[in-house]
Amino acid sequence: MKVVLQNLTKRFPDRNKKGGDVIAVNDFNFEIPDGKLIGLLGPSGCGKSTTLNLISGLEAPTSGKILFGEDDVTRLPPENRGVGLVFQNYALYPHLTVLENILFPLQNLKGADKLTKPQMLEKAKAAAKLVQIDGLLDRKPSEMSGGQQQRVAIARALVKMPRVLLLDEPLSNLDARLRLQTREEIRRIQQETGITTIFVTHDQDEAMSISDMIVVMKAGVVQQIGAPQDVYDKPVNLFVATFLGTPPINVFDGQVKNEKLFVGNQAVLPVPGVKDQQVVVGIRPEGFILDEQGPLEVSLRRVEVMGRDTSVVSTHPASRNAQVRSIIPARNRVDRNAPTVRFSLMPDKVHVFEAEGENKALWASPLDQ
């Protein structure tokens, strides 16, 4: 089921009655294609949960529309929208068994949707099997791990075969290993069922790894929408460039003079077509090439061996961060005692942004177009 947001806006009155209202969701216009997994990504407070709550019907928009397919659902109550919801805290009924928890949404169906006991059991067992907890149906939630409880919550959301599955930071309560495992599970379940799924997270790694498409948000405003790799490779502004990637992109003050890009006073790349101005330069950690003749010289602080590759930690006077981090292949040895190291740069890993305003992208490497 495709989901369309049209001029969708949600204002909350200011809680402290001081400044103006909070615009949690500011004029969203985008379409979530049928059968895809979309990651809604942004820092805490940027409006992710509010967007999800508008789609589920838990919140009413201030203005704008929500369509499921051709169906305008903007005024429909949540129970009539056909959505499945999963939150960070699993919100299972503690006194009910796993099976009873999963059955619960089926027991309140009315009229034509009403099911017989055997039909309900069949659906609940199918949902349990899908999330691989069919061996635990008689347990109480307290007798299960966090990861297992979250699977029960997902089964409960899936048991009515929703038109849209909405997941709000579903992995936040799990430890690191379970988080990895469960996100892959969510991807598998989504692909097996083909249910259009919206996955909210503040963790870029999580969103990038399982989404067909990510929507990067900041302060209630959509910044960029696209396939994860495209957004990573072609960020539209400094915020998006900084938000995606671990370790994060290195940020420098720079300028363009005579179509040359300077980081501090070092000319690092030709940037044909860009007019003279102050700029902000972002260089991905993997964009540095160890090169004695290279144009960018940094002061070496330390070298961290990571096995597959090596992390060179340095400083540079034009860096906006305390440290510059470069990731190079492990076979390229760095002289740990050298005071400085020189690099050349991969043009497609260098991003140039306006120094003012929203720091919009100014230039993309010809390699990258």
> Where on the chain is the footprint of ligand ADP (CB under 6 A)?
12, 15, 22, 24, 42, 44-50
Q: Which amino acid is at 48?
A: K
Rounded CA gap, 284 and 299, in Å?
18
* Euclidean distance between CA atoms 357 and 236, whole angstroms: 13
Contact window for Mg ion (CB under 5 A) among 41-49, 63-71, 140-148, 330-338: 41-49
- The DSSP annotation for 72-95 comes to E-TTS-GGGTTEEEE-SS----TT
Neighbours of 79 (CB within 10 A): 12
Give the span between the Cα atoms of 183 and 150, in whole angstroms: 11
Q: What is the DSSP string of 247-309?
A: SPPEEEEEEEETTEEEETTEEEEE-TTPPSEEEEEEE-GGGEEE-TT-SEEEEEEEEEE-SSE
Tell me how far, at minimum, the Cβ of 128 lies from ligand ADP, in Å: 29
Which range of residues in 44-52, 80-88, 261-269, 293-301 is near Mg ion by CB under 5 A?
A: 44-52
Find the shortest distance in angstroms from Cβ 173 to ligand ADP: 15
Our CB check for Mg ion shows the closer of 41 and 324 to be: 41
Q: Which is nearer to ligand ADP, 42 or 347 (CB)?
A: 42
**Nearest position to Mg ion, beta carbon:** 49
3-state secondary structure of 180: helix
148 binds Mg ion, rule: CB under 5 A? no
**Please, what is the minimum distance in Å from the beta carbon of residue 52 to ligand ADP?**
8
Nearer to ligand ADP, 48 or 179 (CB): 48
Would strands 71-72 and 83-86 be described as parallel, antiparallel, or unpaired?
A: unpaired
Nearest approach in angstroms of CB 49 to Mg ion is 3
- Cβ 65 to ligand ADP shortest distance, Å: 19
Spatial contact of 62 and 235, defined as CB atoms under 8 Å apart: no
Which is closer to ligand ADP, CB of 22 or CB of 313? 22
- Residue 49 binds Mg ion, judged by CB under 5 A: yes
**What are the DSSP calls for 189-217, one per residue?**
HHHHH--EEEEEES-HHHHHHH-SEEEEE
DSSP state of 332: S
The three-state DSSP-derived secondary structure of 121-140 is: HHHHHHHHHHCCCCCCCCCC
User: Smaller CB distance to Mg ion: residue 78 or 294?
Assistant: 78
Segment interacting with Mg ion (CB under 5 A) among 45-53, 221-229, 251-259, 330-338? 45-53
Q: How far is the CB of 198 from Mg ion (least distance, A)?
A: 13
Would you say 216 or 268 has its CB closer to ligand ADP? 216
- Give least dist CB 83 to Mg ion, A: 17
Residue 50 binds Mg ion (CB under 5 A): no
Cα–Cα distance measured from residue 209 to residue 228, given in angstroms and rounded to the nearest whole number: 8
Residue 46 interface partner, choices Mg ion, ligand ADP, none, CB cut-off 5-8 Å depending on type: ligand ADP
Task: Name the residue nearer to ligand ADP (CB basis): 42 or 105.
Answer: 42
Of the two residues 221 and 274, which places its CB atom closer to ligand ADP in the complex?
A: 221
| CB of residue 53 to ligand ADP, shortest distance in Å | 7
Contacts with Mg ion by CB under 5 A lie at: 49
